[in-house]
């Protein structure tokens, strides 16, 4: 290997690289231990669900109306549509791999714990108390973040909710989808 292939990236010193790595490791270790000690990662599945926990549902119930704005039915039908979307998501997640479920659970844990919720999401209040403007600001921050992990989190959350909404027959009229007619 030539010496030029071993040089550090432009603008990043070895000291900065080691500092970021050490701080990142410390932060992840602290978060993992906190989640373990508070029982976040081992919280039971919510009643009526197969995978999603009550804390996950609180986050998703806050996100769904913002992510699906303009797509959900108006008025009193909107909360029922959100619940159907979450049940569809839960059924979908039940069919995914254990490691995938674990990663999503870790993302929800980070978004739920007060310290990391404030640091990563920017919400000082619980998800149930967040305004649509706060959630929109959080989503925009993650969407345009310079960190690929946050951009990936944005994509996962928004695409997941959108896909689950459009899997439901009640959403098909809005996109002029007519399911194929099955003849016997």
The secondary structure of residue 53, as a DSSP letter, is: B
More confident residue, 31 or 132: 132
What does the pLDDT read at residue 5?
A: 45
Q: Which residue has the tokens 């929800």?
A: 108
Q: What is the mean pLDDT of residues 132-161?
A: 94
Q: Are 61 and 54 in contact (CB under 8 A)?
A: no
Cβ count within 10 A of residue 182: 5
How far apart, in whole angstroms, are the C-alpha atoms of residue 123 and residue 58? 14
pLDDT of residue 4: 47
pLDDT per residue over 41-93, tens digit each? Answer: 568 999 999 999 999 999 999 999 999 999 999 899 999 999 999 999 999 99
* 21-41 residue pLDDT tens: 666 666 666 665 655 555 455
Give just the sign of the alpha carbon dihedral 62, 63, 67, 68.
negative
String of DSSP letters for 142-163:
HHT-SSHHHHHHHHHHHHHHHH
Asked whether the whole model's pTM tops 0.85, one would answer no
């Amino acid at each position: 290997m030539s010496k030029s292939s071993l040089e550090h990236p432009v603008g990043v010193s070895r000291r900065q690289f080691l500092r970021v790595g050490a701080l990142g490791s410390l932060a992840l270790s602290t978060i993992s231990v906190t989640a373990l000690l508070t029982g976040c990662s081992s919280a039971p599945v919510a009643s009526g669900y197969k995978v999603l926990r009550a804390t996950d549902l609180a986050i998703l119930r806050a996100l769904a109306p913002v992510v699906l704005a303009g797509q959900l039915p108006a008025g009193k039908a909107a909360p029922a549509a959100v619940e159907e979307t979450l049940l569809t998501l839960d059924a979908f997640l039940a069919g995914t791999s254990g490691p995938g479920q674990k990663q999503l659970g870790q993302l929800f844990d980070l978004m739920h714990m007060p310290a990391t919720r404030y640091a990563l999401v920017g919400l000082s209040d619980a998800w149930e108390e967040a305004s649509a403007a706060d959630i929109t600001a959080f989503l925009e921050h993650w969407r345009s973040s310079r960190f690929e992990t946050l951009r990936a989190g944005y994509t996962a959350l928004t695409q997941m909710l959108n896909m689950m909404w459009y899997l439901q027959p009640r959403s098909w009229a809005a996109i002029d989808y007519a399911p194929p007619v099955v003849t016997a």
